[in-house]
Structure 1
């Protein structure tokens, strides 16, 4: 049975709206004048909260949003009546009734989708596969398609390796550029967050940042202008004293070398703080580091309180959502760290 989530008051994530907007402005200002900056808000804005993110970015001037599904488009529909919303996963046959009645546009990803959408007479976007081989129409198929009757706003492609300095980036750019005017359209879009950092040749008319809006840094060029947008906070449920030889957690992967004060906090892999943080994660109290001891379990994590021995049951501890650092600690991608934030967090915005 479904129902309203009742938060215990022991676990929350604090988001900073000013930092979110600052990140978007930084990404908007990298390209030369004439390039518009949109925002990828799929997957509940990467776990941050789609309605909260969209409302703040609209106030900042953003008018182009990208979601994955028609359900996600519906969730922000009331906020985006004067905006462009693109459903990246396209439109399947059973989705046509909802899609035609929606103010959002499909990103057409195949010949079948082109043919399915043509009779609607409504705007759409088109994805060209330039080498990622995920969704999209192959470059070689473009000339064979009858584009008549389609009102195409954005002609797009997606970079597969923009976070790396590899030849694939230039190859995809060349393939996308070569399409030229083979497909009638209003605007072109290629660059995601990492693609923005690749330089002006990748920017075209519209950029589609996602990860970096929320504090992710896929390329070093963005490290000076992108900041974390939130922090995790959890309460200590218990403070324990252990002795030399005592084990901590499942499978006894940590053994104390001497007397220790440890804290047990209300945070675990069910909340997105995965087992990859076992023995490598760091929470904190003020400026004091609290290392994770032993294995992270589903609902709990054990911490070394040596640098904050005065902490007690009920005290708040936490860590910034510094995605590059959390990625390094856990061996997860920055995307996985962010989108794994669980439903038990009370999501709070301070502005």
Structure 2
């Protein structure tokens, strides 16, 4: 009763999505799971437990602090840290049994030195840059490490990986270029497992699967390939409580900056959610929006209700003029995204991506971990 919004997260759906991907790549390929950024905003601990229960044994996080939390939840799992070895942090990795994804010569040298100083052979991965130009070893440094037998004896190289820059764009010729570069360089480490594919890479086909795949957004029900209708199960449902119903005459501006003006006598529902809760401001309505780029919408009892005016920090308005008054009432909930409202579509209205919506989920929502109801999209009513 004290929350303005409700966030339902279906960890069974996350586990089911992982199982679908595992079956797609086949038994010979290790299907890992990316759970960085608090499991894409869904909660690291409950998501990790659900995935481990489904059979996932390898996880990827971005930072060692995430890995330390994850280790408590999945004591026997393999945990890779994608952002590599933070300077001076090797003891923390060792204590929590985290495997740094070494992305520079300096990181590889520091990890090797630490292992020698402790007289232990610890696990690590190498990240080869095949064109992302973000993290990763250059071709020259990759060859240098491959030729340095002393370094490779200091730690146990358990994975060689790279990352696709354009994997979500299925027709991009750069995918094939990266694949060719990766194949050429991973051969420098014979017998070492290899990984290239994220969620989108899995859908590019078996040539991209190698020994391990690392799905992320697909596990959480997001868009996998740009513009493709394929989705796995919906995982997240965000609902906002109606605080007040307002009757607004025609030709009256609404909200900050008087961004949108009513064109008719309008009934507005004021919702207890805003950009302070992770709902992006750009998704709101404005008179300056072109007719072919309408604002985002919610769903109230089967009725589509468009946002009206700017999204503010704690509040937003939706147009419920055509919704029966017994449904559009104080205390009712409006679905902002979930089974009936495609998150990727909402992200598009905000000129962003569903990754950002997920990882922006705020901490003021009442979080409920429970199965989601099947979508009622087939019966949605268009309200104008």
TM-score under structure 1 length normalisation: 0.94
Q: Is the 1:271–1:345 Cα contact (8 Å) retained in structure 2? A: yes
Among residues 151, 154, 164, which one is paired with 1:159 in the alignment?
A: 164
Aligned counterpart, 1:197: 203
Q: Is the 1:13–1:348 Cα contact (8 Å) retained in structure 2? A: yes
Q: Is the 2:221–2:231 Cα contact (8 Å) retained in structure 1? A: no
Q: CA deviation at 1:247?
A: 1.4
More displaced, 213-222 or 186-195? 213-222
Among residues 308, 312, 335, which one is paired with 1:318 in the alignment?
A: 335
Among residues 309, 313, 321, which one is paired with 1:306 in the alignment?
A: 321
Aligned counterpart, 1:106: 100
Structure 2 residue 362 is matched with structure 1 residue 342: yes
More displaced, 227-236 or 303-312? 303-312
- Structure 1 distance, partners of 2:5, 2:249, is 29
SS in 2 for 1:148: helix
Paired residues in the alignment total: 345
SS in 2 for 1:169: helix
Residue ranges of structure 1 left out of the alignment (5+ in a row): 1-6
Q: CA deviation at 1:17?
A: 2.0
> Which structure 2 residues correspond to residues 243-262 of structure 1 after superposition, within 5 A?
243-262=249-268
Aligned CA distance change for structure 1 residues 154 and 17 (closer, same or farther; 3 Å): same
Q: Is the 2:236–2:337 Cα contact (8 Å) retained in structure 1? A: yes
Aligned CA distance change for structure 1 residues 249 and 20 (closer, same or farther; 3 Å): same
Q: CA deviation at 1:202?
A: 0.1
SS in 1 for 2:60: strand
SS in 2 for 1:73: helix
Aligned counterpart, 2:238: 232
- Structure 1 distance, partners of 2:298, 2:190, is 52
Aligned counterpart, 2:380: none
Instruction: Tell me the alpha carbon deviations over residues 32-68 of structure 1, each in whole angstroms, 9 at most, x when there is no partner.
Output: 3301111000000111111111000000000110000
Q: Is the 1:153–1:185 Cα contact (8 Å) retained in structure 2? A: no
Instruction: Tell me the alpha carbon deviations over residues 134-186 of structure 1, each in whole angstroms, 9 at most, x when there is no partner.
Output: 11111222222222322011110000000112111111101111113313563
> Which structure 2 residues correspond to residues 264-303 of structure 1 after superposition, within 5 A?
264-279=270-285, 280-303=295-318
Q: CA deviation at 1:326?
A: 1.6
Q: Is the 1:228–1:323 Cα contact (8 Å) retained in structure 2? A: no
- Structure 2 distance, partners of 1:144, 1:123, is 19
Structure 2 residue 67 is matched with structure 1 residue 73: yes
Q: CA deviation at 1:307?
A: 3.0
Q: Is the 1:152–1:185 Cα contact (8 Å) retained in structure 2? A: no
Residue ranges of structure 2 left out of the alignment (5+ in a row): 116-120, 286-294, 372-384
> Which structure 2 residues correspond to residues 175-186 of structure 1 after superposition, within 5 A?
175-183=181-189, 186=192
Aligned counterpart, 2:350: 330
Aligned CA distance change for structure 1 residues 88 and 314 (closer, same or farther; 3 Å): same
Q: Is the 1:26–1:225 Cα contact (8 Å) retained in structure 2? A: no
SS in 2 for 1:76: helix
- Structure 2 distance, partners of 1:215, 1:122, is 35
Among residues 137, 144, 148, which one is paired with 2:153 in the alignment?
A: 148
Aligned counterpart, 2:80: 86
Aligned counterpart, 2:291: none
SS in 1 for 2:222: coil
Q: CA deviation at 1:224?
A: 3.7
- Structure 2 distance, partners of 1:290, 1:159, is 38
Aligned counterpart, 1:128: 128
- Structure 1 distance, partners of 2:167, 2:175, is 6
Q: Is the 1:23–1:213 Cα contact (8 Å) retained in structure 2? A: yes
- Structure 2 distance, partners of 1:29, 1:220, is 22
Aligned CA distance change for structure 1 residues 258 and 14 (closer, same or farther; 3 Å): same
- Structure 1 distance, partners of 2:73, 2:301, is 37
